Structure 1
Amino acid sequence: MRIRTRLLLLILSILFPAVLVASVALWYVYQEQRKAEVAGTREAVRALSLLADRELLAMDGILRTLAAAPALHRGDLRAFYDQARRVAPPGHSVIVVTDLEGRQLLNSRQPFGGPLPKGRSNLMALRRVKGPQGTVVSDLFVAPVGKRPDIAVQIPVQVDGQLRYYLAMGLAAERLVPLLVQQGLPQQWTASLTDRQGRVIARSRDAQKYIGMSVRPALRARIQAGEQSGVHQGVTLSGIQTMAFFSRAPLSGWTVILSVPLEEIRRPAIYAATGFAAMIVLMLALSMAGAHWYARRTAAPIERLRRSAEALGAGEPVAALRSGMAEADAVSRALADAAARIRDNEAELERKVAEAVAAAERAQRALLQGQKLEALGRLTAGIAHDFNNVLQTLSGALQLIPLTQDRARVQALAETCQRAIARATTLTGQMRSFGTVQDARLATVDPAIAVHNVLPMLKNALPNNVELALDLQPAPDGLWPVTIDPLQMELALLNLVINARDAMPAGGRVSVALRNETLPAAVQGQVQGKGLAGELAPGDYLRVSVADTGTGMSQDTLARALEPFYTTKGVDKGTGLGLPQAYGFAVQSNGRLVLDSAPGSGTTVTIWLPRAAGAATAVEEGTRAASPDLQAAEGLVLFVEDDPLVRETMLAALVTAGFEVRAAASGDEALAVLESGAPVRQVFSDIVMPGAIGGVELARIVLTRFPQVRIVLATGYTDSRVNLPGVRLLAKPYDIAELYQALR
């Protein structure tokens, strides 16, 4: 924040209390002005209610004069009738004499002696409540003669000290309108006179339209409840938002309502507050202008200090300044001294930073090396453990064979050795899945056929309480072919189903689903789960999903699930190679594996395999189970193998089968045999061998220089691609039957 801004804020912080006080005063002025307006209006409406009572008192005086008439006391109603019509002309008023039960005896609006109407006012009802004495004022009613809204005042008449009659005077409601109009109210104000039920008796504006109508329900409820006075905010009968001040007249019980539009009631207070606010704003503007001028003058030395600091940051010399401000000059001298010290310390700092960076790089390299060694140690320890078990089985069985004379026992021990070898083959197959090149085992297959081939094995791996559901994409489209190692795919599916089984000790459901999926460029990288996954390029894929309803994995387990030999199962319950093998199979097949799991929600493993360019080939079954065919091929077989044990064993096997065999321990030795002119018809060579010529290089030389010689290559694992026409590949370990078939 700039110094000028800080100074302005400081000045504003000083002005703020004054502005706050002024704002409070402004609010006080506004409220007091409103209170004054409200109080004045309350007094006006109270005065109007007294005026209404004064009109009624005038009617009461007329009635009392008539009540003293001798004709009435003599019972000469004819003479009293003439007198009443003179006092109260029937055009706008009426005199009514009733007996004590309320039956009319005389009505000045009707011919004397003629039929008299029944009264429609509530005078007698009010009389029963108030008692026989005193004056009673009716509510608004429709007069039976003339059919117009009237009001009436009634008094008792005593004759010889006894109550004889009730004398009433009726008056048209419209005769009370001038009482409100003549008060000189502002044009927008409306005065209304209502009876006890909230019906309009008189109104200063549009009286003919609204006489007899009831006021709004909320205000009518307050009037009927008997409130003496109050303020009500609402809408008038003409639809105007107003503040209504009302007051009940003490004699009649009627209510006078003075409705003032909200804008009118607020205007004086707003005018007063606005004037006061204008004064505050003007004072604030003058203060701000003065504060800005002072802040600008004060900030100038600080700005010069800023430029000096920038020069210091750029490594330029800084000279001390004299501004007349003691604090700024002291800072300037300090900057000049700091510039000199910084130049002296830069070289030392650079030297120390270089040393620290070198030390950090050494530590990082050591950390990475340690992590690699830890991973390698965990991997080799797991392999050593499993292979030691295999070797122990083979060693024990081979040691027992010479000690056993029983041929059946010898055959059983040989089968034990075969099972141990099969277990070692499975382990190496799992290890092989972590490699990158498996040309010897790749084939373009129909995934539906591959899954059906392994389906019996999957069912056998599941107990009765676990259901296996298979969901393949139906015809006519069918499933796209994929280029994979079929055995690795079978092993991956078996490992995933076994993991699902172990995650459902109480039973459940395992679903294996295969679907064709096309990923457009718009969703590249979105095919991910909560586990390890990589981006998938746009294109056609076969999606293989294995889902279970088991216990699921925690986030920690999910993070380590693909580590080799990592397992949450008990001792001897799992090797920790199931998921890593499936992951390695997916990567080898140029695909991806996605894990999606949560505790209590089961686990879904999805393998994305790219669609193969060619058509599927038939998957060979039963090759390993076939019995060796000892029929030999014609011609000399050059057997090239660097491992003496393998060479000795397979050489004996080929001789036993009747092949003419010549052995070589390296590619160089094999090339020498070929160049010697030996009648070699076939070359059977390992791929990985010491020396300058490996198996792949030897095959290239043979194809070029000895095209009549056929070639078979064998490998357990190689990081070299084998893409040679006419060259057959065998994967170690291979059965003797496979070798015989390849050579034939």
Structure 2
Amino acid sequence: MNPQDIRATVKIRTRLLWLVFAAWLPSAIAIGLVARSEYVELKSSALQDVRRLADGLNSIVERELDKRFVMARTLSASTALQLNDLARFYIEASLATKGMDSWVALYRPGRQVLNTRFPYDPLLAVPVPELALWLTSGEASYFDRSGPLVKQPLIGVIAAQAITPVDFNVVVAFDPAVLNSAISKLSPSHGAIVSIVDKDLKVMARSKDHHAWLGREATVDMKQRALAGRDGFEPSITLDKVPALTYLSLPNRHGWYTIVALPQETLDHEARHAAVKAIGLAATLLGLSLLLALYVARSVSEPLLALEEAAEELGQERVPQLLKTGISEADRVARALRDAGVRIKESADVLEAKVNDAVARTAEVQQRLADAQKREALGRLAGGVAHDFNNLLQTISAALHLMVATTPEGPPRRMLDAATRATGKAADLVKQMLAFGRAQKLQPAAVNINDFLLKVCDLAGKAAGTNINIHANVAPGLPAVFVDPSQLELALLNLIFNARDAMQGRGEIKIHAFLAVNGLSSASPAQSAFVQIDVSDNGPGMDASTLRKAFDPYFTTKPVGSGSGLGLAQVLSFARQSGGDAHIVSEQGRGTNVQLILPSTTAVPTASASASTGAVAAGRPLRVLMVEDDSLVASVVLSAIEGMGHCATHCLNAEKAKELITQGERFDVVFSDVVMPGAITGFDLAEWCQTLQPPIPVVLATGYSAQSPETDVVVLRKPYDLNDLARALQQAAGADITPALKG
């Protein structure tokens, strides 16, 4: 080898080494950045796990305390306790705690007189001088290192007796191991030390050395953080003198905290592990690169320039030419460069297409979000006015009902009938407003489509006019749908009347019900979870602009005063709230087809009892307690109840009603509004009445309430018919109902 070749070889090798080093350095930096990013991500994930663990555990502790506070409050209001019947109270308390990890103790000042952990002893009087917490009202929690009877650490919640003066305090106690069990179920990770402390910052449970620290106060640093309201993460020293990054939760409703300490050693170990991995990977990469450079330098000379040119073309986003250098290694690199260029170009094309598609999807999602926010705002507005508006409608409709009963046939009677129909239309309008805004809670049930469509077509055929032909076609063996029957009827009537108006009172409306799969028709029941109902007309159809806005609330093409624009909005909202959807297919000159897609069910539909019409039902006279804060509603409905032959007493709120009943007033039934001033709702009053001995039946009425009753109680929706009220009162009181004769 001549000196010139040697110099060329050395030059190539040197340049290759520099090239390898230049290529390795960014990779090493990138590896370091990736390692650091991995550590930061791991640390962030660990902190998120800690935060979720603490907040979730804090909620669990709150629920555990709430459950026992509710039990203590309930037992403190026991009639047996008020009568000083401790044997009966022992039975009630034992039943209340059956199957639970809690027990009930009863205290008088300075002594314990009852404990459900032990057999009932009427002579029990265990001194409790160390229990300094005696409540004359309200409730509290406490920790005792050794209960006077159970001789073990316990946590107790106290509720003072609900009378004055207070003779007893009811204590619901439980083992701190309950809280430790909750910690164990959440499985703290990353070596975290979890502590639950009460409002006085005393340890109630701890994942590490629980018995050693039970009842001990938290560190001074943690007390200062709690006093200053500094929740979240801060460096601290644990009770075990372990440096840690400690998370302090917000206090729950009872002032208890959850503390999770993540040892600093754990975090440092993760950092060291990431650094060692990055250094090892970088060193390995450098060594392999140097060996490869030495190998290539021995076999590459002139083809290197051709490869360099090919690499430059690749860097300029061009596809390199396929080289034929005669060296297999160089040829393979050249072929790889060309293949890489082809893949890069294809990837760029695919990426551009995906970006365009993502931009289009983002715009669609933003539009849907805007629509949802608009509907939510309208729904909140509708729910806000529904209560007061329905109270006004109730006053008007009840007054009209009473006036119709005493007005003979003639012009005055016809005017009253017209006013009654107008009140009904106003009530339907409120239902539509609540429906499209989802402010009205649906009451779904299994509905037989075949029977339901026959009833709707019969009802709509009379109202649509003689020049409108309505045809219904139901596929054989169609399953029932699981929807709110009244909302389904309203939706179908809206579609039929919209079609009638579009055809200007003359034409044909077809209703077709069949199975559907993901919104597409199907002939196989095994493939379907939905039923599709198509309502089509042969009217003028819609243009593209009208079709885009057809489901918008208050949008209408009808003349001013001829439509509210809520019909199709109610249809869409009802379908989606029921778990289905609605679509419109329409073209100008080719009619309109509205597709209502609803979830099916295998449940057997129950026959709905139709409400009887006529005069107010007669029955035995009842003593009725009416609870209504609206003076207009009360003035009319109270007179109507008395006109039914009942003795009625009026209260403005539930607190006054409870006071009357507690004082010994006897009533056969309570008729109450749901939403009233004060802290007690109609649902709360109904639940309270069920706890009495004997219980008092309750009938509720509401203009609007998003809450549902937790007990089996009749709820009348305002404006209700006085016949419905009469029947509900008699049925609630357990009386036979005999329809009164008209005239």
Q: TM-score, normalised by structure 2?
A: 0.43
Whose Rg is larger? Answer: 1
